[in-house]
Amino acid sequence: MNPWSVEAPCTSACVRAATPRVPLGETVRRYVALTHTLVRAGAMGERLADPRILRTQAHAVLDALGVRLESGPSLPGRAPGALIVANHISWLDVVALLAVEPVTVLAKREVGQWPLVGTLARRIGTRFIDRAAVRELPDVVDELADMLRSGRSVLVFPQATTWCTVAGGRFRRAAFQAAVDAGAPVRPTTVDYVQHGEPSTVAAFLGGDDFTTSLRRVAAARDLTVRVTAHPPLWGSDRRTLAARAQAAVTDTVPPVHADPYARA
């Protein structure tokens, strides 16, 4: 079985909005604001990889789309050199996570081919993998371990694909071997979406969706909030155990969170 790839039963039919869409005029305004934000980010060149700039620009993307960010307080042990593992619902997950903590991202190769987004992803140092190339797995794990040893934190999505809810597919174990080899902590993180306080799948990027279709739904969503919840770090010497413990932490009931001070009210 390919540890980088998995077929999810979630399809675009799983997507629903918890509230009516915003008026067309507001959707257009969001597109204009997003275009301005992305063009400005692109003009920054390599400076975009600076953690402070990257965090600011990630917040700007969320603001442009009218998406509110909520995140819990920082936890003890939040230090560089950690493997950050999160559930995967949407391309928007990455933006929200970078707005909380700019880190190196491990992403599928296709993201690097998206217009403009791929260019920006490369400039912030994203590491792309070919999920169909099983033979590359040992080299990828070794590279991740080297990053962790050097003090760089790396974000991975061990579910290997997007799901419509937090409790989607099981965590694949491959990336956890890098944390074991490097003696690095694993930091589980939960990402979920709500509208008017109710769970929403409107941001999900599923099945036959293309990026444009998913972006259109997000840009038209009313009162969309993305919540990022960090859990205590995990340590261990067995990737199977680490993966199971991380999944349990991520998929537990999401606790109340506090509004991020950088988020737009």
Task: Quote the pTM value.
Answer: 0.86
Say what the pLDDT of residue 147 is. 92
Report the pLDDT averaged over residues 158-182. 86
Answer yes or no: are the C-beta atoms of 87 and 159 closer than 8 Å.
Answer: yes
Question: Which residues make Cβ contacts (< 8 Å) with residue 241, sequence separation at least 6?
Answer: none
Q: Is 33 exposed, middle or buried (0-12, 13-18, 19+ CB in 10 A)?
A: middle
Decide if pLDDT at 12 tops 80. Answer: no
What number of CA atoms fall less than 13 Å from residue 64's CA on the CB side? 22
Quote the percentage of the chain above a pLDDT of 70: 84
Say what the pLDDT of residue 255 is. 42
Q: What angle do CA 195, 162, 220 make, to 5 degrees?
A: 35
CB < 8 Å & 24+ apart, contacts of 128-137: 129/4, 130/4, 131/2, 131/4, 131/5, 131/160, 132/2, 132/4, 132/5, 134/2, 134/3, 134/4, 137/3, 137/4, 137/174
Question: Which residues make Cβ contacts (< 8 Å) with residue 188, sequence separation at least 6?
Answer: 85, 86, 230, 231, 234, 245, 246, 247, 249, 250
Answer yes or no: are the C-beta atoms of 180 and 238 closer than 8 Å.
Answer: yes
Please tell me the distance from the alpha carbon of residue 239 to that of residue 252, in angstroms, as a whole number.
Answer: 20
Pairing status of strand 198-199 against strand 186-195: antiparallel
Residue 257's pLDDT band (boundaries 50, 70, 90)?
very low
What secondary structure does DSSP assign to 153-191, as a single string? -EEE-TTSS--SSTT-SPPPSHHHHHHHHHT--EEEEEE
Beta bridge partner(s), residue 255:
none
- Computed over every residue of the chain, the mean pLDDT equals 84
Report the pLDDT averaged over residues 172-199. 93
Decide if pLDDT at 33 tops 80. Answer: yes
Beta bridge partner(s), residue 65:
none
Residue listed under structure tokens 């920054």: 44
Residue listed under structure tokens 């929403």: 200
Answer yes or no: are the C-beta atoms of 17 and 144 closer than 8 Å.
Answer: no
Say what the pLDDT of residue 264 is. 36
Decide if pLDDT at 18 tops 80. Answer: no
Strand, helix or coil for residue 262: coil
DSSP letter, residue 213: H
91-115: per-residue pLDDT in tens?
999 999 999 998 999 887 788 777 7
Q: What angle do CA 198, 192, 35 make, to 5 degrees?
A: 100
Residue 259's pLDDT band (boundaries 50, 70, 90)?
very low
- For residue 96, what is the enclosing H or E element? helix 92-100
Decide if pLDDT at 220 tops 90. Answer: yes
Decide if pLDDT at 189 tops 60. Answer: yes
Report the pLDDT averaged over residues 68-86. 79
